[in-house]
Amino acid sequence: MAEPAIDIENLTKDYPYGFLQLKKRRSLENLTMQVQAGEVFGFLGPNGAGKSTTIKLLMRLIFPTAGSARILGKPLSDIAMHRDIGYLPEQPYFYDYLTAEELLDYFARFHDFSAEDRRERVQRMLKRVGLESAGRIQLRKYSKGMLQRVGLAQAILHDPAVVVLDEPMSGLDPVGRREVRDIILELKKQGKTVLFSTHILTDAEMLCDRVGVIVGGKLQGVGAPSELVGLKTQGMEILFELPASGATAGDLLAQATRTGDRYRLQIEESGLYVAMEQLHTAGARIMSVTQVKPSLEEYFMHLVAADRAQAAAVEVRTK
Amino acid sequence: MTRVGTVALNTFREAVRDRVLYNLVFFALVMIATAILVGQISVGIEQIVIVTLGLSAISIIGLLISVFIGVGLVSKEIEKRTLYALLAKPLRRWEFIFGKFAGLALTLTVNTAAMSVGLFLALFYVKHSIERADTAVLVAVYFILLKLTLVVALAMLFSCFTTPLLAILFTAGLYIAGLFVHEMRHMQAGTIDPALGGLLRGISYVLPNFENFDVMGAAAHGRVISGMLIAQNTIYAALYCAIVLAVAMAIFSQRNLK
């Protein structure tokens, strides 16, 4: 099997606190996971779960209490490895006295590109993130969303093999979110490995080959979104409209939820054909029939609730 | 070294675009104009007054820039998190520290040079000539620059492990203590407990000796400053800066950025 693009082993991080910094709060506990080359991996978790801590550890912005990690087979201390990674920090903030062009040119210099190459890359990236007309404006005049786009541009400016994005959709309007999603999908098409953290589950479901869910500093599950939530359906949902004379579908109507002219009916899979027959007899117009599956959000909320319940139980025991 | 140069040039660009810097330079020019004015009403001692006031202005403005911008070089980057994206690039932490130091040293050099031009213009205005003896003023400016780079190194060291406010206090404290190194070494016997005297003497050798860089009196009176002192001060500043920066780099290399 090919070497994973990101290989994390028992990564643990404690933060000291208190006046003398003698007490320790565990932010990440024995995290072990791999991100395979070429996959889009979503790192999910509520605020304070340990997502950003993990990413900061990978970027060597903080150092682990225990454990280790490798990117592209190289230890994190290997500075040459940084030529092949791109990183977008959470809520990025850049030198506000620079223009976007100057900032990107500044970052490009660390990759030893020629002046001509830098100029070409900077213009290409600005166009790619929709900032070609704002390239000569100082960043202090940029909105949060524009800064996020500049952040994304600097992360992929040098065509890295691994792209790590910390909350890339944060602060973006729907158009901006769509554009970021397109960029992530484009990176995947190019064979890049993308690790991104988010707490927006629809983004993860839409983009990720696999996701890892972290709650309370502990990894709770890793896998394809469909694997994690399970393939077993929770029933069937029928969406239908009923003519004024269709009162004979009495039983079913009592179970259905009405929104405007439409009814939404959720039933057991085994009772589908009987219900369809009854609706047909009542003259209903069937709009759609879909399987009801648990969503990633339900799975996620279940894990968060379980973690909170466990934390509460520990608190009660220690009192 | 290219990466160090890239960080240094960006630091210089930041300082140039920072309006506070222009205000300080403006203040220095006002000081020099005042020197001319005071020089005109100080019959016979114009040169002494102009050189003393001019060099004092260069020194004070330089110290303000060194301490406040020096402390902010690292702490502002951490606080505003501009450092995060930067350290993900192929840039070592020591290269960042050295680049920042070099950038501010370059800024100080340009500022000091600009203010020195002002000082020499003031001298020329009063004396209608620049003499060979005035090279002592140039040497005094050079010593001020050495002193300032040492202060920047200290400010950066403290900002690597403490809050900006404490870093300013520590740097200012060390600077003031460094002005009394000679007194600490030569406490008269009988005025102080011998053990305490020994301790003070020991500390005085560790403290940066800022007294050595003060040749304002000699420059004002047009006295020659020896080549030996120039070499000695240059080597001293270079070595002291190297040690302080090495410690700063070692601390910063292990620092967790929150």
pTM of the model: 0.84
Q: Does A64 touch chain B (CB under 8 A)?
A: no
Q: Does A60 touch chain B (CB under 8 A)?
A: yes
Q: Which is more confident, A296 or A270? A: A270
Domain ranges of chain A: 6-229, 236-291
ipTM exceeding 0.90, yes/no: no
The mean pLDDT value for A122-151 works out to 91
Residue in chain A closest to B17 (alpha carbons) equals: A97
Nearest beta carbon to residue B82 from set A86, A93, A109: A93
Contact list in B for residue A60 (CB cut-off 8 A) is: 87
CB contact under 8 A, A95 and B82: yes
Contact list in B for residue A151 (CB cut-off 8 A) is: 85
Report in angstroms the alpha-carbon separations of B104 from A19, A195, B70.
Answer: 34, 37, 7
pLDDT tens digits for range B78-94: 998 899 999 999 999 99
Which residues of chain B approach chain A closer than 8 Å at the C-beta?
Answer: 2-3, 6, 10, 13-14, 17-18, 80-82, 84-92, 254, 256-258
Q: Does A17 touch chain B (CB under 8 A)?
A: no
Tokens of A217: 């500093």
Q: Has residue B156 got a pLDDT over 70?
A: yes
Task: Say if CB A194 and CB A40 are below 8 A apart.
Answer: yes
Q: Does A118 touch chain B (CB under 8 A)?
A: no
Contact list in A for residue B10 (CB cut-off 8 A) is: 95, 106
Identify the pLDDT of residue B189: 65
Q: Has residue A306 got a pLDDT over 80?
A: no
Nearest beta carbon to residue B14 from set A97, A112, A151: A97
CB contact under 8 A, A56 and B17: no
First-to-last alpha carbon distance for chain A, in angstroms, is 49
pLDDT band at residue B207 using 50, 70 and 90 as cut-offs: very high
Tokens of B60: 């004070």
pLDDT band at residue A162 using 50, 70 and 90 as cut-offs: very high
Q: Has residue A86 got a pLDDT over 80?
A: yes
Q: Which is more confident, A300 or A189? A: A189
Q: Has residue A315 got a pLDDT over 70?
A: no
Domain ranges of chain B: 2-179+214-253
Q: Does A106 touch chain B (CB under 8 A)?
A: yes
Identify the pLDDT of residue A314: 63
The upper half-sphere exposure of residue A277, i.e. CA atoms within 13 Å in the direction of its Cβ, equals 4
Identify the pLDDT of residue A170: 82
Residue in chain B closest to A14 (alpha carbons) equals: B256
CB contact under 8 A, A93 and B80: yes
Q: Does A57 touch chain B (CB under 8 A)?
A: no
pLDDT tens digits for range B122-135: 888 877 788 877 88
Nearest beta carbon to residue B256 from set A62, A89, A109: A62
Contact list in A for residue B256 (CB cut-off 8 A) is: 61-63
pLDDT band at residue A258 using 50, 70 and 90 as cut-offs: confident
Q: Does A185 touch chain B (CB under 8 A)?
A: no
Mean pLDDT of chain B: 89
Identify the pLDDT of residue A110: 94
Q: Which helix (H) or strand (E) holds A7?
A: strand A6-17
- Closest chain A C-alpha to B13 CA, distance in angstroms: 9
Give the percent of chain A with pLDDT over 70.
Answer: 93
- A168-179 in b/e form (b: 16+ CB < 10 A) is bbbbbeeebbeb
Q: Which is more confident, A316 or B193? A: B193
- Identify the weakest region by mean pLDDT among A152-156, B84-88, B111-115: B111-115
Contact list in A for residue B72 (CB cut-off 8 A) is: none
- Closest chain A C-alpha to B212 CA, distance in angstroms: 38
Report in angstroms the alpha-carbon separations of A195 from A58, A86, A188, A211.
Answer: 11, 10, 11, 9
CB contact under 8 A, B84 and A110: no
- β pairing state of A193-198 and A162-166: parallel
Q: Has residue B191 got a pLDDT over 60?
A: yes
Q: Has residue A124 got a pLDDT over 90?
A: yes
Q: Which residues contact A28 (CB under 8 A, 6 or more apart)?
A: A11, A12, A13, A50, A53, A54, A57, A217
- Identify the weakest region by mean pLDDT among A273-277, A290-294, B139-143, B240-244: A290-294
Q: Does domain A6-229 have CATH number 3.40.50.720?
A: no
Polymer length in residues for chain A: 319
pLDDT tens digits for range A9-26: 999 999 888 877 788 888
Q: Which is more confident, A88 or A45? A: A88
Identify the pLDDT of residue A87: 96
Q: Which residues contact A54 (CB under 8 A, 6 or more apart)?
A: A8, A11, A28, A31, A43, A197, A214
Nearest beta carbon to residue B89 from set A63, A89, A107: A107
Identify the pLDDT of residue B184: 86
Identify the pLDDT of residue B121: 85
pLDDT tens digits for range A31-67: 999 999 999 999 988 888 899 999 999 999 999 999 9
Domain spanning A236-291, CATH class: alpha beta
Identify the pLDDT of residue B179: 94
Residue in chain A closest to B86 (alpha carbons) equals: A107
Contact list in B for residue A147 (CB cut-off 8 A) is: none
Identify the pLDDT of residue B29: 75
The mean pLDDT value for B137-142 works out to 95
Report in angstroms the alpha-carbon separations of B165 from A118, B61, B66.
Answer: 39, 19, 14
Contact list in A for residue B18 (CB cut-off 8 A) is: 97
Q: Has residue A199 got a pLDDT over 90?
A: no
Identify the pLDDT of residue A305: 76
Q: Has residue B141 got a pLDDT over 90?
A: yes
- β pairing state of A210-215 and A218-223: antiparallel
Identify the pLDDT of residue A247: 57
- Identify the weakest region by mean pLDDT among A242-251, B27-36, B107-116: A242-251
| Separation of alpha carbons A97 and B111, rounded Å | 20
CB contact under 8 A, B88 and A85: yes
| Separation of alpha carbons A82 and A59, rounded Å | 9
Identify the pLDDT of residue B7: 96
pLDDT band at residue A154 using 50, 70 and 90 as cut-offs: very high
| Separation of alpha carbons A59 and B87, rounded Å | 8
Contact list in A for residue B92 (CB cut-off 8 A) is: 79
Nearest beta carbon to residue B90 from set A56, A83, A94: A83
Answer positive or negative: Cα dihedral of B213, B214, B216, B219. Answer: negative
CB contact under 8 A, A92 and B84: yes
CB contact under 8 A, A95 and B84: no
